[in-house]
Structure 1
Amino acid sequence: MASYELSAFNRQFQAISLVGAIEQQSPFTLNVGFWLRDPNQWVEWPALVASHPRQDFLWEHTCFEIFIGVQGEDFYREINLSPSQAWQAYAFEEYRYPEQMPPVAAYDIELNQLKRTHYGLNVSLDLTEFILKHKLKWTDLFIGLTAVLKTSQGEQFYAMQHSSPAADFHNKRDWLHQF
């Protein structure tokens, strides 16, 4: 299991720490955990929902995200995970394209489990269809972990790194995990 300390885009904001961990499990399962430390209890958590519905615009509230890129390819997937236990997966052909809102839903990634925990969020994703459809191996993939945190102090953007002048989770240079 590899872990990463995510950093806030606003370097002055140090009140909340966030760690993400990535684990390949079984031939096609990706497990990710997010551990959040919020001693001032500033994070605004959405209310829990039942049965893990797919919902759009989850990033308008506190939302954890996983980006899955493919070495040498333009296409990628964005998975949004709400602490409400709603989720969604999006397909992009290249950087932020197509540009429609909400983005095009991706149905080649399935949710095995999504659970809000006392420390953050755990998710298990089934990548079987995505990997087989594109004839991929784990070593072809690279992963970015990000989060939008709605707080009483304003919106905060967390990522593995921020190499753009504005917070930009779609920047593949910032997706640091490789298998």
Structure 2
Amino acid sequence: MASYDLSAFDRRFQAIALVGAIEQQSPFGLNVGFWLRDPNQYVQWPELVSANPRVDFLWENTCYEVFIGVKGEDFYREINLSPSQAWQAYQFEEYRYPEDMPPQVAEDIELNQLKRTHYGLNVSLDLTEFMLKHKLKWDDLFIGLTAVLNTTQGHQYYAMQHSSPSADFHNKRDWLHQF
């Protein structure tokens, strides 16, 4: 399992620590965990829901995200994971395109499990259809972990790294995990 310290886009905001971890589960499963340390209890949590519904616009509140890129290709997937236990997956042909709002739903990613924990969030994703449809192996993929935290201090944006002048989770340069 590989883990990453996610950093706030606003470097002055150091009140919350966030770690993301990625684990490949053969043949097509991906496990991701997020561990959050919020000693001042700044994070505002959405209400829990049941049955893991697919819901749009989760990023407007506290939301963890997984981006899946393919080496040498423009297309990618964005998976939104709410601590409410709602989720959604989107497909893009290239950087933020198509520009539909909400984005186009990706039906080739399935959720095995999404659970809010006392320390953050655990998710198990099934990438079978996505990987088989595009004839992908694990070493073809690269992953970005991000989070939007709705806090009493405003929205805070966390990522593996921030290389753009504004918080931009769609910037593939910041998706650092490779298999």
- TM-score computed with the length of structure 2 as normaliser: 1.00
List gaps (5 residues or longer) in structure 1.
none
Distance in 2 of aligned mates of 1:129 and 1:41: 39
Distance in 2 of aligned mates of 1:61 and 1:135: 35
Aligned length: 179
Across the aligned residues of Structure 1 and Structure 2, the Cα RMSD in angstroms comes to 0.2
Opposite residue 106 of structure 1, the aligned amino acid is A
Q: Give the match's secondary structure for 2:49.
A: coil
Once the two structures are superposed, residues 58-117 of structure 1 have per-residue CA deviations (whole angstroms, 9 ceiling, x without a partner) of 000000000000000000000000000000000000000000100000000000000000
Distance in 1 of aligned mates of 2:151 and 2:166: 19
Match of 2:74 in 1: 74
Once the two structures are superposed, residues 150-178 of structure 1 have per-residue CA deviations (whole angstroms, 9 ceiling, x without a partner) of 00011000000000000000000000000
Q: Give the match's secondary structure for 2:173.
A: helix
Opposite residue 123 of structure 2, the aligned amino acid is V
Match of 2:94 in 1: 94
Q: Give the match's secondary structure for 1:20.
A: strand
Distance in 2 of aligned mates of 1:152 and 1:120: 18
Runs of at least 4 residues off by over 3 Å: none
Distance in 2 of aligned mates of 1:104 and 1:39: 37
Once the two structures are superposed, residues 12-66 of structure 1 have per-residue CA deviations (whole angstroms, 9 ceiling, x without a partner) of 0000000000000120000000000000000000000010000000000000000
Once the two structures are superposed, residues 109-165 of structure 1 have per-residue CA deviations (whole angstroms, 9 ceiling, x without a partner) of 000000000000000000000000000000000000000000001100000000000
Match of 2:60 in 1: 60
- TM-score computed with the length of structure 1 as normaliser: 1.00
Match of 2:161 in 1: 161
Match of 2:128 in 1: 128
Opposite residue 125 of structure 2, the aligned amino acid is L
Q: Give the match's secondary structure for 2:147.
A: strand
Opposite residue 36 of structure 1, the aligned amino acid is L
Distance in 1 of aligned mates of 2:61 and 2:120: 15
Opposite residue 32 of structure 2, the aligned amino acid is V
Kindly report which structure 2 residues correspond to 1:1-179, keeping only aligned pairs within 5 A, or say none: 1-179=1-179
Distance in 2 of aligned mates of 1:2 and 1:77: 20
Identity over aligned residues, as a percent? 84
Distance in 1 of aligned mates of 2:143 and 2:169: 11
